[in-house]
Chain A
């Protein structure tokens, strides 16, 4: 009886993980297909589709655009998130709880709504559709995230550390730069890498807010409109690989605990 339960639980685990990872495995597997259709039987392995992706100027420029948007918008989001977290943690502000709620509110709003709102706003303000517009959109979605991560790591212990620095003659900007930022570095890096991950494969906002130069997910969507082929698998696998790397960085920085 116990044997059956054990086997059943193994099967269940297998089914769950299969359900989660099978699509990715299929995607990666058929990106190595040697023939022109990403359907069984598997004819690879071959890297010809990766070669095709990397020699496609539209895809490579979209890839560079994506990296630029992701890194610059994440830098902006993490900087603003850090400063607001520091402000909320160190100063008594009127209506602090309400303001904190408001700053994290975009986390609960769908990207479609945020994208539409920005589209209307930019139209009205005369900001053309561009990578910059998409980047601003990514700051809007990632700032609350960075704020939440960094704010959660700002304890009272650091207050005395900052006081000690001031006491020893440090002006406020040096306290921030030499003490608070290095002490908060794990949370800051975690916020940065998570923002990168989200920005990297964000589609809706980029789709709504870019026109000629666009990001990789939008370019992949363009590609998919002409039907499935192993090239889409290859570029999808690349996106996935970069995401994995970013998530690993995120976990390493946030979850690694320094010996106290």
Chain B
């Protein structure tokens, strides 16, 4: 296995009294698309700033291509950043914006213009070369910022909530393009977002952050299907969370007592251990108890039609503090006030031990 392209080693950072990153270690593989996903205040943007060289961490080291870059200024490290507000130079043409990095490297005018045109063609804006940034739409400015950052061929491209300022439709469209561009140029992208859909759509490697720590990381499919922590189970997609205690463990099967009755799970756990069981909305079965695990009865409190499916909220009759979130087909006929039996399959239950 090759050495990681970026190696973040035990990085902590404080702003005054406030600790925003707590002993974070992360490795980025060459050519990967990494998403740092987390709510605001989770430290994801600070981590990106540390990678870009705008912030020097209080503790820990950052290696890029094996070199210690911890306190190397942005100008001298092989990273470029696409800023959330694009930060285009308003007094320069689009072509000069894209060529700026090459100009700083001392590349002559003709070569610069040629490369800038290529980069603009890559993002589908070949015709904008002579325009000024203010003549472009938000989505187009975004592409110019991308071309400007890519043209100097960085080892790592850092994107700070790049789609945050765009409307939903454009965001989904740019998302597909970002992925396509990344595959074409093969540069490692590190992209910060709080949008879990964006994360699932783009990431090869998804890093879920909360409160200055990495909660979970891995391929998005794995993070969604088998989240490592309770936070990850509720932030990357929704989950119904059942708190429980292990009461019995034998023959590689454990029994967990929950407010809605005992649940048997594969695997041996220490008796008396407090656990949480997470179930994804699409795995809950309402009505006729068909699943292997009975989860009691619940009263439907809300049904939201969302086009291709219905999102159903239900309150457990056995434990009114327990809220079920289920996803049913659009043709489902449940109404608020209905009392339904709830169940699911054993292998769809995610066991969380944090």
Task: Decide: B104 and A168 in contact? CB cutoff 8 A.
Answer: yes
Number of A-B contacts (CB under 8 A): 63
Which B residues are within 8 Å of any A CB, using their own CB?
52-54, 73-76, 79-81, 83, 85, 87-91, 100-101, 104-105, 134, 148-149, 152
CB-defined contacts of A160 to chain B, threshold 8 Å: 83, 85, 87
Q: Are A167 and B91 in contact (CB under 8 A)?
A: no
Name A residues whose Cβ lies closer than 8 Å to a Cβ of B. Answer: 157, 160-161, 163-171, 174, 179, 182-183, 185, 258-260
Closest residue of chain B to A174 (Cβ to Cβ) is B104
Q: Say yes or no: B91 contacts A169, CB within 8 Å.
A: no
- State whether B83 touches A164 (Cβ < 8 A): yes
Can you give 30 contacting A-B residue pairs, CB < 8 Å?
A157-B85, A160-B83, A160-B87, A161-B87, A161-B88, A161-B89, A163-B54, A163-B74, A164-B87, A164-B88, A165-B89, A166-B74, A167-B53, A167-B54, A167-B74, A167-B79, A167-B81, A168-B75, A168-B80, A168-B100, A168-B101, A169-B75, A169-B76, A169-B101, A169-B105, A169-B152, A170-B75, A182-B89, A183-B89, A185-B91
**Chain B min CB distance to A153 (Å):** 13
A183 to chain B, nearest CB (A): 6
> Which of B80, B90, B105, B134 contacts A167, CB < 8 Å?
B80
Given that A163-B54, A174-B104, A258-B134 are known contacts, is A168 also in contact with B152, CB under 8 Å in the complex?
A: yes
The A interface is mostly helix, strand or loop, or mixed, namely: helix
Question: What is the bound-complex CA distance between A185 and B81, given in angstroms?
Answer: 26
Extra 16 A-B pairs, beta carbons < 8 Å, given A169-B76, A170-B104, A182-B91: A160-B83, A161-B87, A163-B81, A163-B83, A164-B89, A164-B148, A167-B52, A167-B53, A167-B79, A168-B100, A168-B149, A169-B101, A182-B89, A183-B89, A183-B91, A260-B134
Q: Which residues of B contact A179 (CB under 8 A)?
A: 89
Q: Which 8 A-B pairs have the closest CB atoms?
A: A168-B101, A169-B104, A160-B87, A164-B87, A182-B91, A167-B74, A169-B75, A161-B87
- Give Cα distance in the complex from A84 to B85, angstroms: 26
- Chain B, residue nearest A161 (CB): B87
Once the chains are docked, how many angstroms separate the CA of A164 from the CA of B144?
13
**Which chain B residue shows the least CB distance to A164?**
B87
A167 to B88, CA, bound (A): 12
